[in-house]
A and B are shown apart, each in its own frame.
Chain A
Amino acid sequence: KAGVTQTPRYLIKTRGQQVTLSCSPISGHRSVSWYQQTPGQGLQFLFEYFSETQRNKGNFPGRFSGRQFSNSRSEMNVSTLELGDSALYLCASSLAPRGYGNTIYFGEGSWLTVV
């Protein structure tokens, strides 16, 4: 069974550009969430989608957005990139948005460097 797949794994963008990251959840998983990981701020929740609807949103500016498709695949977009957006962006998937047996699995992440 394939894990959470994120593409691209590495990318370099210039300040002011925009970027789109993609996530394919584990087969059968319908909940997808995104996290930003930086050395200074650690792991921070960006947003979560279930059944193509945003269920939760973290404390990030509106430049960060996402969406989920009918096949549960998700994308996140960051517009007007800033140097501080350089981070590892992690996608996580689970069967459903709630429940104790609902293990949350992470992908290997997309490394974004903004220059």
Chain B
Amino acid sequence: QQQVKQSPQSLIVQKGGISIINCAYENTAFDYFPWYQQFPGKGPALLIAIRPDVSEKKEGRFTISFNKSAKQFSLHIMDSQPGDSATYFCAALPIKAAGNKLTFGGGTRVLVKP
């Protein structure tokens, strides 16, 4: 059962454009939603994270939008740069439950063309 669905699987954006990645979850116990960036040969690195009591969070060129009623959240990469070319994973964590068991989306491979 895929509890976090991520789309698209891949996207190509021109330098300076906006990359948008969407995720939807089913488990209402999830209440912490991090995004990870992964470059080839490297482990995932935390990019930005949001809690469900916040509808939007911005850090530099990266913004998370969160819609609790729709159980959806998205990552916007503004002014995309070639260095942003990587695979992005959304994830969800049931904070109130015991443990750090992250459930990941399937990933989105982003290619930013110069």
The interface of chain A, by Cβ under 8 A from chain B, is 4, 31, 33, 35, 42-45, 48, 50, 55-56, 58, 90, 92, 94, 97-100, 102-109
The answer to whether A106 and B43 touch (CB under 8 A), given A42-B106, A100-B51, A100-B95, is yes
CA distance A94 to B99 in the complex (A): 10
Contacts of B51 in A (CB 8 A): 100
Q: Counting CB contacts under 8 A, is B45 at the interface? A: yes
Closest A residue to B2 using CB positions: A42
A62–B106 Cα distance when bound, in Å, is 25
> Within the complex, which residue of A44, A56, A109 is in contact with B43, where a contact is CB–CB below 8 Å?
A109
CB pair B46 A105 closer than 8 Å:
yes
**For the complex, would chain B's binding face be called helix, strand, loop or mixed by DSSP majority?**
loop
* Cross-chain contact B98 with A98 (CB below 8 angstroms): yes
- Enumerate chain B interface residues (CB-CB to A < 8 A): 32, 34, 36, 41-46, 49, 51, 89, 93, 95-107
A103 CA / B46 CA spacing, docked (Å): 8
Closest to A105 in B: B46
Asked if A4 and B43 make an inter-chain contact with CB atoms under 8 angstroms apart, the answer reads yes
CB distance from B98 to the nearest CB of A (A): 6
Q: Tell me if A106 and B36 are in contact (CB < 8 A).
A: yes
Closest to A42 in B: B106
Contacts of A56 in B (CB 8 A): 98-101
